[in-house]
Every structure is written in C-alpha cells, then in structure tokens.
Structure 1
Amino acid sequence: MTAPIEGFSKLGKEDKIRWIAQHYTNNSEDTIAILKQYWHSDPKLQNLHDEFIENTITNFYLPLGIAPNFLINNKLYAIPMAIEESSVVAAASKAAKYWHTRGGFKATVLGTEKVGQVHFMYEGDTEKLGHFFKRVQPKLLESVAAITKNMEKRGGGIRNIALRNKSADLENYFQLHCTFETQDAMGANFINSCLEGIAETFKEEAQLYDAFTQQEKDLEIVMSILSNNIPNCLVRAEVSCPVTDLKAQDGMEPMDFAQKMVRAVNMAKVEPYRAVTHNKGIMNGIDAVILATGNDFRAIEAGAHAYAAKDGQYTSLTHASIDDGIFKFWIEIPLAVGTVGGLTNLHPLVKLALEILQHPTAKELMQIVAVAGLAQNFGAVRSLVTTGIQQGHMKMHLLNILNQLGATESEKHKLIAHFKNHTATHSAVVQAFNELRSKK
C-alpha cells in the first residue's frame, strides 16, 4: 500500500480496526479479536475512553499496583503505581517499609511557580520596546481578566509578566516571560489561554503605539506556549537516621553501607553516563504515580531532566551525605501536577487512585510523587552497592519469562519455589523450565 488514506478520522471505530488489520497486520481476524478483547464491556465506559484521544481503536492496559507503608510527614499512604516494568513496585514497597521504622519520609514544597512565554521577533530600538512594555503591561493583565477570574478566586493567577531580550542568542528574538500560580490544577490549558490573550493584546497595542516606526509596530508573534522547564515549582523529599540504625544485605557494617551509598550517589553527580541511568530509576517511581493519577509524565520527565542539567552538566537528582553520624538521602525535583482538571475527574481509575491517596491537594501530590522517586532510587542504589541489581530484578522478572515460555500454573509454582534459592538469570530459568518439562 503506497497511497495515504483520506478521511481516516471520519471512519467509525469498527472501520478503523478493519482498515488497520487489513493493511498493516498479517492476520486481520486475529488483529480484530485482540483489539476487541480489550474493549470495556460497558459501552458507556468504552465511549468515555474513546473520547480521551483521537482515532481510538482499543484500550492499552498497564498493571496498576500498590506500594504500601509510605509514612510521609507522619501520615501513612498506600501509593498507586501504573507501570509495566518488573520490580518497580516491589522496590518502592521495600524502601517504604525500610524507612517506616526509621522516621519515615519528610517532604516540603519549596515553590509552585509555573512559566509560560510569548515568543516574538522585533526589529527596532530596544529602549523604545522597553518603554512600550512598561506602558502596556497593565493592559496585558486586563485583557485576560475573564480567564484569570476564577483562578484568582482560588488564590492563583498571573504573578508577573517580564520582557526578556534574547537577541544576543538569536537575532531580533524577545520574550514576554510570564509566571503563574495554578493551585490544584496542572494549569496547561489555563496558562496557554492566558498567553494567547496576552499575545493578541501585545500585538494590537504595538500597532497603536505612536513612538514605534511601522517596522517596529509590525513585530511578529511567533508562538505563545507554556514551558515545562519549571525550576521554581520545586519539592524536596528526604530520609535520615543515625548511621548505626542502617541495615544492609549480607551483613555489611552500617558505616560501610552508608559510605557506599554516598559514593554511589556522588558518582552519579560527576558522571553523566551514570547520572542518566540513576535518574531513570528515580523516574520509574515518579512516572508510575504520575500515570496512575492522570498527570502528564512527558512534561514531568522533561522538567526533571532539564533541572538535572541546570548547572551546565547533567547530574544526579538525588543527594546523600553523612554528617555527625547521621545518614541523609534526599531529592529536589520540579513537579507540575494537578488533582483537578484533565483526566482527574473523568478516568475512573484516576479518580480511584486519588481517593486511595486520600484526595491530596496538588502540593500534597507533589510530595507523594517526590517520595516515590526517592524511595525507588534508594532501593536501586542499595541493591547496586550490596547484592547487585539483577538478583532482585530477575526474580521479579521471573513470571514474565515463564509466561513467554508458556509455563502452566503448576510449573510456575514449582519454578518460583526453585528460584527462591537460586539466581534467576534468563538462561537459568529456561534451563530449569526445560528440565522440568523433560521429566514429564
């Protein structure tokens, strides 16, 4: 097939499925059956999911797990996590239990400022542009009053609009750099609506500004869009205890364990190749909670990685130290999350996840998410400096391998028992499975 299809979005769901099955899969009947078996039995619920995005043909399932025993600011949580990777929920749960008896996690929101920008090109006198901006700034705020009214009632709104000259980086490039407070909403739609209104007024007022030449009046608005770089929408999560209270696997001495943890984190601070994998482990925990609560994990990822590189080199998002006999492990990370708007009021599992989290505010959810990332990182680094990452991970991955091999429930039971006392590498699992089958 070489010609593009016209009007695909106008086809019904059944027709979309038939088309994709016929043109892009080897067995159209199997394809149709697979896609339909993941439809909801309740047509109303399926229709709800169909309307979340465009050109929907079915639902793509991820497991939703629970990591219990998280003591955060003296409040106990069971954290929902949606993820496909083995060992993530187990590692988070293990870290939560470990720190529950050592005072739990402490979390603090350091800031909630979000950013949006109007990007424009201006050819002319920069001093005149500065005077114009000062004159027009109040009108920019007035122009979006209808949009900001409800947000302001909740304590949010536009905090500032600043003119930024970026022409040293790109000829004739300027910005209106705007900061926002969006309360319990993630705020993307609110911010973008405000920015478009501000841009329109800015352009109109420029045309009326007598001090401008015609060229200056014809400044070009390139785009108006929020930024996912939010270094001032920041949360800190931490754990600490006397070094003597630490316990590691294999009988390692507490101080030896603490020093190995600190060295491992410091390696991720100075070595970008290590830092990327180190931070990926943090995002295992963070993304899983972000997905479960209906938030935007792509925005979270982008902001976190930008923050990791804010000083000119990509580095660790977590930190560790030993001070006066106290081991400390902490993270500071930007997180723009919402507990209202988006899918939070629509997706049944998202609503349930937020209920399980005891209906958190956006600030509380920031704290929970940061703690999940810190717990995940602690569990990963602890494994790396003691038994190694594969021992625990492969045992968690064991069921995936057995399912790939087509093991029966009886075979799974026997092989799980076997690998409680044996190292579960992929080749070892295949060998044990074949040996078990051959005995039959």
Structure 2
Amino acid sequence: MRLVILGGGESGVGTAILGKKKGYEVFVSDFGKIKGNYKEVLIINGIAWEEEKHTEDLILNADVVMKSPGIPDKSPIVKKLIEKVIPVLSEIEFAAPFTDATIIGITGSNGKTTTTMLTHHLLKSAGLNVGLGGNIGKSFAWQVADNKYDSYVLELSSFQLDGILNFKPHIAIITNISPDHLDRYDYKYENYIDAKFRITMNQTEDDYLIYDADDEAITQWFKTHTTKAKLIPFSLTKTFSEGAYIKNNKMEISINHEEFTMDTEHIALEGKHNMKNAMAATSVAKLMQIRKSTIRESLSNFQGVEHRLEKVLKIQNVQYINDSKATNVNATFFALDSMNTPTVWIVGGVDKGNDYNELMSLVREKVKAIICLGVDNKKIIDVFGNVVDIMIEVSTMNDAVKMAQRLSEKGDTVLLSPACASFDLFENYEDRGKQFKQAVKNL
C-alpha cells in the first residue's frame, strides 16, 4: 500500500510516522519548503520526501493520499487525484482506525480552542490518560503512532472534517457557527455549515452531540437534518431537562439524570461566550464520569488560552488585552461584548469578507478610538469613520501600541482584537500576539 502525504508540516509528518509504522510505503510531497526539524524526522525515519514541487509520477500512483488541511481541494494536484478516484483523506480520518481510544471532537467557528483546552484540562486534572491534538498541539496521527493515550480531545477545523469518511467521535461538540473561510466553500454559507456538521454524520445512538442551542445556524440545520447521536444542548437563555444552562448566575447541567451546579463567579473564564465554552466542556466531563469536586476545582483554576482575551499588563491603570486569535468578526464581537470600560481597539489585517456592521452597536457603546493595523484599512474606515472620534492608521505593532498608550487614560482598556487574518504584516496570529505583548512590555 502506497501512502502519499501532501504537506510536510505537523499533520503531514505525524501521518508519515504512523503510516510507516503500519507498514505503508510512504512518500511526503510539499509544494513549499519543509521546515528543518520536520526534515530531520523524515530522514531519521527513512521516509522519502520532496519539497518545492509535486512530482506527479510519485503522487498519482498512490493507494491513499493524506492532504494537509491548508491545501484547498481546488489545487491542481488534488483535482488530478480526485479524477483518478484515489481516496484523499484528512489526517484525522487516516489515524482514527488505528486507535481504540475514546475520541472527543470539538468544532465551531469560535471558542473551539478554549473549549478544547478546557475539556483537556478537566479530564487531565481528573487523572485520565488523555491526549490533546487536531488543530492544536502535537499531530493526532503522531500521538496514535506512539500509542500512549486512552482518550483524545481533538480540535477539528471544517477543513479537517471535509476529509473524513468514517471518522466518528464518541462525543462531539459544535461551539457555534458564523461565516468564516467562505472562500473555501464557494462563498456559500450553507456549505460551510454542512462541513461543521460532518462531525456528527457517523455518530450512532451510543454517541453524543453537544451544541449551542442559542446559535441560529445550528438550530436552522436541525430543522431539516437529523443525527442519531444523543443531543445535549447548552444555552444562556433557555433551560433544559437534559442539557446545560445558566440560571440565576449558576451553571446548571443535567445529563443522564445527574445534576451539576456551580456559581458562575467561581469560573476562571470571563464573558458570556466563555460560559458557553465552560458548559460544553463540563458536559464532556459529566459524560466521562468525572467527580463534581474535580470539575469545580478545574473550572476555577483554568488559565485560558494564549492570544485569546489574554490579559497582558496593567500600565498606569490601563489594561492591555491580547485577543490576536480573533481572526473573524464573530470572535471580535465576543471580545468587545466582554469589555466593561472605554476601549481603544486595535483592528485590521487580511479581511476574509468581513461585515463590520455587526459590530456597530458595540463600537458605539464601548470604543473611544480605533487604531487600524493593516495594509488595507479602507473598509474599516468606511464603516466606523463617522462613529468613533479618533481613527488612526499604523503599519507596525510598536506604533499601534505606542499610539494606544497615548489615546488611553486611567481606567481604559487597550484591546488587540483584529477580526482579520494576520498574513499582511505578520507570520500568523501567534506572531502578531507575541509582538503585541512585547510592545506592551516595552512601554
């Protein structure tokens, strides 16, 4: 069996190691450059590879292909594979059959990283032997090759779910759905929604789907589709006999005739959206039979995720917050919604077809100044130019932070929440967030 892997990054190299271990003839092909550390791993393991090209003769003779999530279906080599009816899978689909571990899969437009990290924290704190992977951390396939874990918490993007056929998590979570990455889905929102719901397509009556019952796209989907999985909804406004909700500042969860309650003020994460993330993660913990005292302790000591509403420093009584991970409007909506003080907002980058009008009421209410940090800020200026008194364009993070310090006064917040991808000025959102934190520390 010949396994060809497109993309020599984390998921590609992890799949190569697993494939080799399972007796496949493995070849890795990357159209770009392969990073030095990954090349070393391939060489040490005796795995054939090429970079900066796709040699068709070495790829189109595959029995199965694993495509890294960043490569679109529209790329010429993928089209040729599909024409030849060679199966093109995601890493998750390839690796899952090689493990008996319990799989918890988490998807959604926003909140999935926080929910994944919190779920992993809850299970690990309870002493479970649990791995963390998917879109974050070490490649799932690589971990399956090492065969150390009894369960996995996987963050799954729509791109990863596009490449599944039989994959099914025992517990699935859909945190929410809002328009994102529509360039990959022919600019059709319904295609993107369907991609997210692939997480439940193979689930049976013995499996669970945890979902946001306040989310319009999710509730609409359920009107015309079904899943065999047992449904566990969570909500900020509704109550359920089976599910999770907030009532009188208490998180209440009822699953399989078992109750769990906790005062929301004791939960370390702040903001309404984080209450949803906490309900989703706690629902998993309940399904995995974790003790109430352990759940309460873990929810109260969770540190949060880097670059997601991360408090950096307070300088002259101004709080600086790094929300670089907010790469779409919906994520920034959550961030602005959780601001309780006048805010200097740093925004901008590569726009993925954003509609900034959704933020209008929050900007009117909370934002005193906008700093545009992007190569092309025209759209942001057009929308908010008449709403905010001060709008300034800058082209470096240092200038953005210095300007924010000048515009802010005691009791204000400076919020980096770009609502855009970062590729115009930075390597990625992590690089953008790190530069922000460094610039704040240099003030």
Fold shared by both chains (TM-score > 0.5): no
Higher relative contact order (CA 8 A, sep 6+): 1
Whose Rg is larger? 1
Q: TM-score, normalised by structure 2?
A: 0.22
Structure (1/2) with the larger helix percentage: 1
Structure (1/2) with the larger strand percentage: 2
